[in-house]
Structure 1
């Protein structure tokens, strides 16, 4: 999977789009991927075939959707795409949910939905993407669509307040510390975060720490020097055991199991 960093998107979209990527795993294959817990809203748009998504460890939770929007979630998802395994994948910051889709991230937290239901104005985006002949065309189409959403909803987004709240939670390890930075009570912060994100401040900090560990594991694997203990320390975990327990609870596997099945080395073995 190739990923286009958000700094290569339109400057107007940069505060809202975290990643924008194209994936192409080749025709005639069945790919199952683990959707890890995330502090972003993700949108996956297969080019031709629908996507089956289920929550890990929840039998009967599977749904087949044409294009998937997933909110912030603390558990792992399982995604299966058959046939033409090609499409577009992007993630939005919590700010981006309101500014680009017209609804708070809390409306999607812990849920998956079809893009057409979340943003009816984007209902035909999968078909329009399928008609494009190259990734630059697809990226340009996605950006134009998002800019249209920004023009429609952007003025209704409290960017400054939410951005300050997320920054304070990201810079601290305790909710009380974040509240002090913001000059408010812990109760006020909890209410505000639940209203905007659909998770508690502590849960959001867990997601940030989990994502930091995931990034550290990927970087270490690419460098050929994986030390789970070192990643745990750098990501704010008490020790390696703490990191492993958190990964089992949130991802349904250990860090080393995830690296073996879906880490950089595993990706390098996949058809491009």
Structure 2
């Protein structure tokens, strides 16, 4: 990864949804902006609990969201998955993460400069070629938008929110009122400070859950305690509310070793 991109890119990887039912994947709530580009067949995406929300997209870009989505990729189930930090949306895509919050859209509509990226990626013969192509496009975006982006304040805000479970304490650390903090976070991310903290805690728990499963000791009580939940029952309730299933059900369907 280019050093210039490192502050803005959380992950860039090839994916394979695996041999399950038509390549179905549960897109969990996230505190990042994600771009999903199938290798061949378009994606079919629907929000859990939203009848009639299914859409067919050649490449999808999604903002921060607090509910799960169902991604279905019939045929070829491979592709490229890119995740950006909230400040990365402005620096690389030229728009605030708030413009994408709680939604998923066609990449070409949101970032016209990337309209031909799916076809260009499909023409690549190897993962190193695909990775290099994505990095070049991101660097081009940084050259166009990076000079206008000043991520220092947003980074400080997110660090303060991530470092405490109390919004007022985060505001005190930043030297501003809770009302000012709320307005700034909504304008930048499209979620409230408390919702952002909820997303961070969920992602932290998910990372610990995956690590524990890989080590062969998926102790839900231990994951819950380490991630700031009152107890295992609280953790399970929150996971079900945000993911639409229990942690155990998610591990069984999509945990380590379940996808290619």
Determine if the TM-score, normalized by the shorter chain, exceeds 0.5. yes
RMSD: 1.3
1:137 corresponds to which of 129, 141, 145: 129
What residue is the counterpart of 2:75 in the other structure? 83
Q: TM-score, normalised by structure 1?
A: 0.93
Q: Equivalents in 1 of 2:206, 2:69: separation in Å?
A: 16
1:208-250 C-alpha deviation (Å, 9 max, x unpaired): 0000110010000000011111101101111111111111111
- Tell me, what secondary structure is at the counterpart of 1:83? coil
1:38-90 C-alpha deviation (Å, 9 max, x unpaired): 00000000011100000012111000000000110000000000111121001
1:60-209 aligned at under 5 Å gives the runs: 60-209=52-201
Gaps of 5+ in 2: none
Q: TM-score, normalised by structure 2?
A: 0.97
What residue is the counterpart of 1:266 in the other structure? 258
Is this contact kept in 2: 1:220–1:226, CA < 8 A?
Answer: yes
1:231 to 2:223 alignment: yes
Q: Equivalents in 2 of 1:135, 1:148: separation in Å?
A: 20
Is this contact kept in 1: 2:44–2:56, CA < 8 A?
Answer: yes
Q: Equivalents in 2 of 1:57, 1:209: separation in Å?
A: 22
CA shift for structure 1 position 27: 8.7
What residue is the counterpart of 1:3 in the other structure? none
Is this contact kept in 2: 1:29–1:84, CA < 8 A?
Answer: no
1:211 to 2:203 alignment: yes
- Tell me, what secondary structure is at the counterpart of 1:253? coil
CA shift for structure 1 position 29: 7.2
Q: Equivalents in 1 of 2:76, 2:18: separation in Å?
A: 7
CA shift for structure 1 position 24: 3.6
Is this contact kept in 2: 1:98–1:157, CA < 8 A?
Answer: yes
Q: Equivalents in 2 of 1:115, 1:169: separation in Å?
A: 29
What is the number of residues matched between the two proteins? 260
Q: Equivalents in 1 of 2:212, 2:104: separation in Å?
A: 31
Gaps of 5+ in 1: 1-8
1:253 corresponds to which of 233, 238, 245: 245
Greater alpha carbon shift after TM alignment, 143-152 vs 84-93:
84-93
Q: Equivalents in 1 of 2:77, 2:204: separation in Å?
A: 28
